[in-house]
Amino acid sequence: MNMKTCGIITEYNPFHQGHIYHIKKTKELTQCNCLIAIVSNHFTQRGLPSLLSMEDKTKLALEAGCNLVIELPACYAAQSADYFAKYAIESLHALNIDQICFGSETNNIVLLREYAKQMESTKVDPSLSMNRNLYSKDIQPNDILGIQYIKQCDKYNILPQSISRKDTFKSATQTRKEYFEGIAQFKDAYFNPNQTWDTYYPYLRKFLILTDTNILSTYFLVNEGIEYRLKENAKKYLKWEEFLLASISKTYTKARIQRTCMFILLQITKAQMQENNRFNQVIVAGFDSIGQAFLKDKQVVTKFKELPKFLQEIELKCQYLSFDTFQARKVIYYDR
């Protein structure tokens, strides 16, 4: 079916009013017939456990106006901005989308594309953040992602568009903070309060203490001897926050430590990620009648058994961390 399509790359950790605004303004700007959201599943880009299940994220996205929701698995979601963008755009490209639309602090595609060009000619110091490597000025988080989205879109002839990010909407970070302080939040009936590193840390800690550093070094993102620091800190600290703060360094930011710990917790190796370094699949989480029509004759995954063995294993591990028993994959149909 020939439709004008637009993709949005999202986390929904948790879903808030700014996300509804993003969906509404994207549809107004692009005039797309089919809006497709690719959503991080169990873990998000900064390596945080997701407060919402994929099923609930899908329901909320469809209710807000998306026509199709697809998944970005944890191993592809919990990545630095460049790889996060790469994997998300690869999956959207598999659907041959026309354009994407993202929130941006500058809301200036020309400027962000210029930054992307600067990136290509900049010698990277791996001990510095992307901001300090590339720019003399401070670049905000959504623009950092936007630069990477543009780079990936240009590879596939996808049109990048942006909307202005509104500070009037509470951020996901602030929403999480207030929720755990006991302050009621938008749609917080969907939140799972056990989805935190505080919950997971006892399992991670035990694994770090009992596992030889030679084994730890085989896991993805475990580089430059960080396994020794993590192991020693696991022995010293009983609480996640203390462990996290002690593990941060010039090279390893808070987000990098969280991502690294996720790959250790899920026991995902460097070899596995090297072997699965492309994500050109479409894992369907839900759709309405428009999304269903768009998917006709397209190669997509709708059942657990259709996932590659690598992603099946990760799905099982994530689910057992989140729930007492395995939850069968269910594609949601939203009847408007």
Q: What is the full DSSP assignment across 176-187?
A: HHHHHTT---TT
10 marked as binding residue: yes
Any binding-site annotation on 44? no
Count the Cβ atoms, other than its own, within 10 Å of residue 109. 18
Q: Is 14 annotated as contributing to ligand binding?
A: yes
- Binding residue per annotation — 213? no
285: helix, strand or coil: strand
**Cα→Cα distances 222→81, 210, 229, 272, Å:** 18, 16, 11, 13
Ramachandran angles phi, psi of 131, nearest 5°: -55, -50
Annotated binding-site residue? 19: yes
| Distance between CA atoms of residues 244 and 60, nearest Å | 32
User: Around Cβ 134, how many Cβ atoms within 10 Å?
Assistant: 19
- Residue 228 annotated as part of some ligand binding site: no
User: Pairing relation of β-strands 284-287 and 68-72?
Assistant: antiparallel
* 16 appears as a binding residue in the annotation: yes
Do residues 46 and 144 lie in contact, with contact meaning Cβ atoms separated by under 8 Å? Answer: no
Residue 107 is labelled as binding a ligand:
no
Q: What are phi and psi of 100, to 5 degrees?
A: -125, 165
Contact 133, 122 (CB under 8 A): yes
Annotated binding-site residue? 17: yes
Count the helix, strand and coil residues of the chain and give each as a percent rounded to the nearest 5: 50, 10, 40
Tell me whether residue 21 is annotated as binding: yes
Residue 103 assigned ligand-binding role: yes
Separation CA 63–CA 307 (nearest Å): 26
Integer Cα distance of 71 and 55 in angstroms: 10
**Residue 336 DSSP symbol:** -
- Which residues sit in the known binding site? 9-22, 103, 142, 165
Q: Please give the annotated binding residues for ATP, written as ranges.
A: 9-22, 103, 142, 165
